[in-house]
Amino acid sequence: MITFIVNADDFGYSRAVNYGILDAYLFGAVNSATVMMNMPGTDHAMKIAHDHPDLRVGVHFNLTCGPSVIKEHKTIIDENGDFLKPSQLSAKKDIDLNEIEREWRAQLELFYAYGLKPSHIDSHHHVHTFPETKDTVMKLAREFNLKVRTFAGIDESLALSDTFTADFSGTGASFETLNAIAANAKDGETVEIMTHPAYLDTAIMNGSSYTEGRLQELDVLMNWPVPNDVTL
């Protein structure tokens, strides 16, 4: 038997994203989600998490979208208090890693302040896997006793799954992709699949470079005939 963790990233981005993830959970294959703790839809997402305790919900560490939780940063936000864009973050040479640790700790603590415990940690734009930040995420995972989305170089004791795949995205959002992931998995493995199901509103249309593909993901996830050898 193969176990799929079908995680919906970007929970909390907006109400439309939240409702898409909720439908993909209630009527489809999604069984896990991770929340952006600094976005307009965060409160709404956390209410959904309270109302649906069987949905595993973790923290989607963020450094590249929206306003920071801590306002006193000097190197990871712009003059408006917003995180740098991914290309700006990658190009910046003077980032204070202590600021990243303080910000991610604040995002975790904000999640706990809603009265819930996160299921795991991952990140927006994979920033937790950067060479400069991976030690920070593992430090916080140990401190808070949480698993982390699997990546190259992770301490295996912290890894959420045996395998992680980002193949289900854009043109890869199809029954064929999901079936191929299952066919290539070993018996007894746990495989995490990154997904981004959503309905669309002005927040996601104006703020994200990935829009209509989210609707395609939602449609596939709500209609996929789950193979007999896959457990969700």
Please name the residues in contact with 79: beta carbons below 8 A apart, sequence gap of 6 or more: none
* CA pseudo-torsion sign 155, 160, 163, 166: negative
Angle between the N-to-C axes of helices 15-26 and 42-51, in degrees from 0 to 180, rounded to the nearest 10: 20
Overall average pLDDT of the 212-226 stretch: 98
Q: What are the tens digits of pLDDT across the range 105-121?
A: 999 999 999 999 999 99
pLDDT exceeds cutoff 90 at 91: no
pLDDT exceeds cutoff 90 at 93: no
Q: What are the tens digits of pLDDT across the range 161-209?
A: 999 999 999 899 999 999 999 999 999 999 999 999 999 999 999 999 9
Distance CA 193, CA 171 (A): 15
**Residue 64's CB: how many other CB atoms inside 10 A?**
19
Q: List b or e across 22-36, with b for residues whose CB sees 16 or more CB atoms inside 10 angstroms.
A: bbbbeebbbbbbbbb
**Residue 91's CB: how many other CB atoms inside 10 A?**
9
